[in-house]
């Protein structure tokens, strides 16, 4: 998966685009109506969080839907805690996520391949900027999902 410039929430010169909070919240509410789920909580990005989080109760389980703050990348998780997100696939929800790229378990758990050579810190396909590469050097994420959905400050 191509890691686009600004996906981590850090940028050098050009600020990355922003995803639409209102549209995402409406999508989550619509999903709840269609699946008989309940929207329990909706969290916005903060200084050290680069994603929106909708927490739903669905079939007596808690599901987290995450949206990157800068690109329309969506992911599902069983749990979300600082520095630990347990990503999952929920095929039943896919038809309701129009307009977003739903990242799969396989994409999110793709290992980060490190290479210590000047500006090419990682070997994974990327357009990451220098500010992001510096954050990666600091936080040392193990998987792609930890770059796209992070708790870095």
Two tokens, residue 106: 């396989």
Residue the block writes with tokens 């929800």: 93
pLDDT at site 117: 59
Question: Would you say 72 and 99 are in contact if contact means Cβ atoms under 8 Å apart?
Answer: yes
Does the predicted model carry a pTM greater than 0.85?
yes
What distance in Å separates the CA atoms of residue 46 and residue 1, rounded to the nearest whole number? 25
The kind and range of the H/E element at 74 are strand 73-81
Q: Which residues of the chain have pLDDT under 70?
A: 117-120
C-alpha to C-alpha distance for 2 and 45, rounded to whole angstroms: 22
- Enter the tokens of residue 97: 């996520």
pLDDT at 120: 62
**pLDDT at 121 (0 to 100):** 83
Q: Give the model confidence (pLDDT) of 16-37 as tens digits.
A: 899 999 999 999 999 999 999 9
Provide the pLDDT for residue 98: 84
Question: Which residues, 6+ apart, have CB-to-CB distance to 84 below 8 Å?
Answer: none
CA distance 135 to 30: 36
pLDDT for res 119: 56
pLDDT number for residue 149: 98
Residue from 35, 16, 101 nearest 67 by CA: 101
pLDDT at residue 42 in the model: 98
């Amino acid at each position: 998966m191509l890691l686009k410039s600004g996906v981590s929430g850090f940028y050098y010169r050009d600020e990355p685009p922003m995803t639409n909070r209102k549209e995402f919240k409406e999508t989550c509410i619509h999903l709840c109506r269609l699946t008989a789920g309940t929207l329990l909580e909706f969290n916005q990005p903060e200084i050290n969080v680069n994603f929106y989080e909708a927490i739903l109760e669905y079939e007596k389980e808690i599901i987290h839907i995450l949206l990157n703050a800068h690109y329309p990348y969506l992911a599902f998780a069983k749990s979300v805690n600082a520095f630990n997100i347990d990503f999952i696939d929920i095929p039943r929800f896919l038809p309701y996520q129009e307009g977003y790229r739903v990242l799969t378990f396989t994409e999110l758990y793709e290992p980060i391949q490190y290479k210590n050579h000047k500006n090419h810190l990682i070997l994974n396909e990327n357009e990451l900027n220098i500010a992001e590469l510096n954050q990666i050097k600091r936080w040392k994420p193990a998987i792609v999902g930890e770059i796209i959905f992070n708790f870095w400050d």
